[in-house]
Amino acid sequence: MEAVFIYIAKSSSLMLMFYCAYYFLLRKETFFNSNRWFLLSGLVVSVILPLLTYTKVIWIDAASNFDTNIQTTLINNSDSESAEFNWNYIILGFYGIGLLVFLLKLAIDFYSLNAIIKGKKIKQQADFKFVDINENIAPFSYFEYIVYNSSLYTASELESILEHEKVHSDQNHTFDVLISRIFSIIFWFNPIVWLYKKAITQNLEFIADSEASKKLSDKKAYQYTLLKITTHENCVAITNHFYQSLIKKRIVMLNKNQSKKRNSWKYYLMLPALATFVLLFQVEVIAKEKPQIIEENDSNIESVDVFKISKNSTDAELNEIKNNLKKNHNVKFEMSEIKRNDLNQLTSITVDIKKGKQHSKSIQNSDKAINEFGVIIITYKNGDKKLGIQTVNNSNNKEPKKAISNKLKTETNVNTNSNTSTKTNSNSSANSSTTVIVDNDNNTVITTSSDEGTSVAVSNGVKTNVKTGFPLVILDGKDMPSDFDMNSLPPSTIKSVRVFKSLDAVALFGEKGEHGIVEIKTKK
């Protein structure tokens, strides 16, 4: 609901901006046709521009406390939420009543128009349909129809009226009237839209007066006709009718000298105004953490569990994940939008996981089959748990098989995978430690090191224990010596870290990848 209020505020501000520009700068100029398009474009911009945003990413230093919640709470206090919920319905109800009233009024106006034209004799002339009626109604035009009562006017007066209405009909002014009417119905609560509608209607009359007077030999006779028509106060609301209020202004504009072309600079003042609006209100700033290396003593982490979901996961396996997460971690796991292809492979699934204030959601959808993903649960010695999403980026099928990297997402996107759970138990040795490395793409690799070797938890949730040796470190394309200390690299200089298991390492790097490869790229 808050987003709706923000949209209304932005739209109203833009509408006010265009109206003020017209009222203070353009209203007294004789650029009537340009003013017409200026006013119409103002309505279009005020509706569309608030929906367009530019995203700007800024990088910030990561929080020093790795134990910070993955995501801020999404659930407000139930009492305040309930109160807000009630107010939303009251406001929507009030708006709905107003909308219904104005829609009913529009329907009545259409019915009245139809009743006037229906059954009358229509005289076709060129692109116009003339309808001579007996009712005492001000002459008006509606698209190609021009309606008038010939018995009320002299021949010269009728000529002035018809020339005026022909301009309305020929230039399709009815569209402008209907568009402004629709806006006034949708935004009925906004006083600016009513002023805007009046400005559009008045400018259309300026256009018709100006064009009609050029075709008439007696300009003064036309002005006297304007004054005479003011005695006919009955008119149809959704039409271009000859009588309008503010006759004095119309006559003044008829006799005004043409504006100089150099005054058209006033239109361009809206460009910097719109640019300022975009910079102030339509730039969405997203903060992302800079790459970091965070070290945790093994005594803090008890286990890392990964529950994988792949294209071949069955309903039974998905239910087993649900039961395991609830039983072992008290994590609520919900599935929806499950679709499978002819091979019984998952092509669509939406997963929601919740635990207290932590909430993540993943929407997987593919024409063929979904990519593998999983729920990752980090359990600490003090009993705290952190949940996140693990996604797998598959390499191009034409290239050699590459290592897969973890993504532990700290946003609302969450992926969950099959019933495979992998635990990485910490070693109580004083020489062991656990390092979590996060790169620019939020790729995460959890590596546990000890005197016996290195245990790496990679994206597919499989733990590979290397007991016979340490993996080779490749730094910016160069092989590092066996005693190279990765912790000696300043965290701010690291761009990404990828861990290749032995089989993948051998396939990509040859025999030197026998014990695995840790590829590190730094910023340059």
At 66-101, the pLDDT tens digits run: 333 433 333 344 444 444 457 888 888 999 999 999
> In the prediction, which pLDDT does 287 show?
67
Separation of alpha carbons 64 and 43, rounded Å:
49
Q: Which stretches in the chain have pLDDT values below 50? A: 63-84, 292-297, 393-468
Q: What is the pLDDT of residue 364?
A: 83
Q: Return all residues near 202 (Cβ < 8 A) that are at least 6 apart.
A: 244, 246, 249
What confidence score (pLDDT) does residue 206 get?
94
- Judge contact between 444 and 487, C-beta under 8 A: no
pLDDT number for residue 293: 45
Q: What are phi and psi of 455, to 5 degrees?
A: -115, 125
| Helices within 171-218 (DSSP H only) | 173-186, 191-215
pLDDT for residue 508? 72
E strand spans, 418-482: 433-438, 443-450, 453-457, 463-466, 472-475, 478-479
Q: Kindly state the DSSP code that residue 157 receives in the 8-state scheme.
A: H
Angle subtended by helix axes 78-117 and 173-186, to nearest 10: 150
Provide the pLDDT for residue 471: 82
Q: Residue written as tokens 């022909």?
A: 166
- Rounded-to-integer distance, Cα 51 and Cα 390, Å: 32
Task: Report the phi/psi class of residue 144: left, alpha or beta, with left for phi > 0 and alpha for psi in -120 to 50.
Answer: alpha
pTM: 0.55
pLDDT value of residue 440:
38
- What pLDDT, on a 0 to 100 scale, did the predictor assign at position 248? 80
- In angstroms, the Cα distances linking 487 to 51, 240, 377, 483, 522 are 46, 78, 25, 12, 13
Q: Among candidates 499, 352, 506, which has minimal Cα distance to 415?
A: 352
Beta strands (DSSP E) in 249-383 are 283-289, 292-297, 301-309, 332-340, 346-355, 358-365, 373-380
Contact in structure between 250 and 206 (CB atoms under 8 Å) = yes
**CA dihedral sign of residues 181, 183, 189, 192:** negative
